[in-house]
């Protein structure tokens, strides 16, 4: 009976601690040749009801311009803690940004969406420049942007 209780205790403990499985995902963003200064880009995830879940990447180093990434800014209240350690330089006109990060497998095929907001100094802001559902079938499929982004793909 003691061995049965010991086995039961161990299996119960293991089932309560289920680690999140994550895999590498590469985000590739090609900018149009719009002829202006570097673009600020905010990459973030929402659930199926549009509720903000978290930030993945921020391109652009001057916090005073983050309010122009309007969807991201509204969702986070401009909380810089959301992007601590996940920022890079702005992306020049006609350039490509490639970012590889770990993303939980549970985000795919479960109704989550990846958003990219874009802003360029002295140009119009572009909230939801890209909105793409995170699906296994969408991996490697290019999505066109609406203003500054020529196309975007994610690959798992």
| pLDDT tens profile 83-116 | 999 999 999 999 999 999 999 999 999 999 999 9
Does residue 125 or residue 6 have the better pLDDT?
125
Q: How many Å is the maximal CA-CA distance in the chain?
A: 76
Residue from 11, 39, 56 nearest 126 by CA? 39
Cα dihedral: 106, 119, 65, 43 (round 10): 10
Average pLDDT rounded to a whole number, residues 51-69: 96
Cβ atoms of residues 131 and 113 within 8 Å: yes
What is the pLDDT at residue 20? 65
pLDDT value at 18 more than 60: no
Percent above pLDDT 70 for the chain: 87
Domains of the chain: 22-155 (2.60.40)
Indicate the pTM of the whole model.
0.85
9: how many CB neighbours lie within 10 A of its CB?
10
What is the secondary structure of 56-89 as a DSSP string? EEEE-S-GGGGGGSHHHHHHHTT-GGGGTT-EE-
pLDDT value at 8 more than 50: no
139, with CB counted inside 10 A (0-12, 13-18, 19+), is: middle
**Any idea which of 9-23, 40-54, 89-103, 115-129 has the lowest mean pLDDT?**
9-23
Percent above pLDDT 90 for the chain: 85
Cβ atoms of residues 125 and 67 within 8 Å: no
What is the pLDDT at residue 14? 29
Cα 112 to Cα 101: distance, rounded to the nearest angstrom: 17
Average pLDDT rounded to a whole number, residues 128-149: 98
Cα 121 to Cα 51: distance, rounded to the nearest angstrom: 28
What is the pLDDT at residue 22? 87
Gap between the terminal Cα atoms of the chain = 47
pLDDT value at 41 more than 90: yes
pLDDT value at 7 more than 50: no
């Amino acid at each position: 009976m003691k061995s049965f209780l010991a086995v039961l205790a161990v299996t119960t403990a293991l089932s309560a601690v289920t680690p999140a499985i994550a895999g590498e995902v590469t985000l590739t963003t090609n900018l149009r040749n719009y002829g202006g200064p570097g673009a600020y880009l905010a990459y973030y995830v929402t659930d199926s009801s549009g509720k903000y879940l978290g930030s993945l990447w921020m391109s652009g180093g001057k916090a005073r311009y983050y309010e122009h990434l309007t969807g991201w800014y509204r969702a986070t209240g401009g909380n810089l803690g959301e992007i601590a350690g996940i920022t890079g330089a702005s992306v020049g006109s006609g350039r490509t940004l490639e970012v590889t990060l770990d993303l939980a497998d549970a985000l795919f095929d479960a109704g989550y969406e990846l958003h990219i907001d874009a802003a360029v100094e002295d140009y119009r802001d572009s909230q939801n420049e890209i909105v793409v559902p995170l699906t296994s079938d969408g991996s490697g499929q290019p999505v066109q942007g609406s203003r500054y982004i020529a196309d975007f793909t994610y690959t798992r």
